[in-house]
């Protein structure tokens, strides 16, 4: 039987495409994985509807793209720590992943990407936005590009996971378990302008959640330029917005995409499973 061709339908001008004609619960050929990888590289975030995966099938799909990461500060499922359950119950007010960010940029080897699978979604709200960081770089002035190309930024997990993190002081209910430790205060350096190892395209690589300052500068000195870049990175024309349905999947290229889980569904329940793929050190 001939393999069914995967259909790719863009959802916005900046990035994002919906893929159909593929069942991710089944073993996929190398050719099918190649088509999915090409769609990811071309559109930076890809979406699948009406998928029905067991945890084992979810993990198996993620493994086709690399080794999987275990989150250092957020506890995964009890029977498989490689799956992070992103949960917000109806009585909770804080969500996970709210605010624009690039996943785990505080690591020496940040994630290549994440595969997020919707188990339960609110009747309305809870969308996720994505922003194309290639466009963020390419639309900067030549003078700004020249200056940033030689700069290094300092990243850390201290704001969300440090000993004085806002969530650490939060007394309300939380169905997710976090580890707020001194280890989150460690720092790592990455280039402000990152070159994608598979496409060769440059992208802006700073974000509000994890980027503290520029190397050899204080946070106060860094703030004006860093604030400008973080605002510029998520201009509306660089973004797409995904409305979740149960059994939908989003797979984003964390090397050139920021995302923001919108926290606009208080009083409703949202449960997702995330598998995160190991990346390389940014260059």
**CATH for 7-277 (3.40.190.290, 3.40.50.720, 3.60.130.10, 3.30.70.120):** 3.60.130.10
Query: Strand, helix or coil at 192?
Result: coil
Per-residue pLDDT tens, the chain, 283 aa: give them. 345 689 999 999 999 999 999 999 999 999 999 999 999 999 999 999 999 999 999 999 999 999 999 999 999 999 999 999 999 999 999 999 999 999 999 999 999 999 999 999 999 999 999 999 999 999 999 999 999 999 999 999 999 999 999 898 888 899 999 999 999 999 999 999 999 999 999 999 999 999 999 999 999 999 999 999 999 999 999 999 999 999 999 999 999 999 999 999 999 999 999 999 999 999 9
CB environment 120-151: b (16+ within 10 A), e (fewer): ebbeebbbbbbbbbbbbbeebeeeeeeebeeb
The dihedrals phi and psi of 59, each to the nearest 5 degrees, come to -65, -40
Residues contacting 224, CB < 8 A, separation 6+: none
pLDDT in tens, 130-144: 999 999 999 999 999
Residue 129's Cβ-side half-sphere holds a number of Cα atoms within 13 Å equal to 18
User: What's the pTM value of the predicted model, to 2 decimals?
Assistant: 0.96
Domain definitions of the chain by residue range: 7-277
Active centre residues (catalytic): 101, 103, 259, 274
């Amino acid at each position: 039987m001939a393999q069914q061709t995967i259909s790719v339908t863009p959802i916005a001008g900046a990035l994002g495409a919906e893929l159909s004609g593929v069942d991710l619960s089944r073993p996929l050929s190398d050719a099918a994985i190649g088509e999915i990888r090409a769609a990811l590289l071309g559109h930076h975030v890809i979406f699948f509807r009406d998928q029905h995966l067991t945890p084992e099938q979810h993990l198996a799909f993620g493994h086709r793209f690399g080794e999987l990461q275990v989150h250092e500060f957020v506890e995964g499922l009890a029977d498989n720590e490689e799956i992070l359950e992103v949960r917000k119950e109806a009585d909770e007010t804080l969500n996970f992943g709210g605010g624009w960010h690039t996943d785990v940029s505080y690591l020496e080897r940040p994630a290549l990407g994440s595969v997020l699978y919707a188990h339960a979604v609110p009747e309305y709200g809870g969308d996720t936005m994505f922003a194309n960081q290639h466009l963020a770089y390419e639309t900067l002035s030549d003078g700004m590009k020249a200056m940033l190309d030689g700069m290094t930024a300092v990243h850390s997990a201290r704001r969300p996971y440090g000993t004085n993190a806002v969530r650490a002081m939060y007394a309300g209910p939380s169905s997710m378990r976090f580890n707020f430790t001194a280890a989150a205060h460690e720092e790592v350096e990455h280039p402000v302008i990152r070159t994608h190892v598979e496409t060769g395209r440059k992208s802006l690589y700073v974000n509000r959640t994890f980027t503290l300052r520029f190397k050899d500068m204080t946070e106060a000195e860094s703030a004006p330029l860093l604030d400008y870049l973080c605002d510029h990175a998520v201009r509306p024309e660089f973004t797409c917005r995904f409305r979740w349905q149960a059994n939908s999947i989003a797979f984003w290229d964390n090397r050139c995409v920021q995302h923001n889980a919108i926290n606009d569904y208080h009083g409703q329940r949202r449960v997702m499973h995330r598998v995160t793929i190991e990346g390389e050190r940014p260059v």
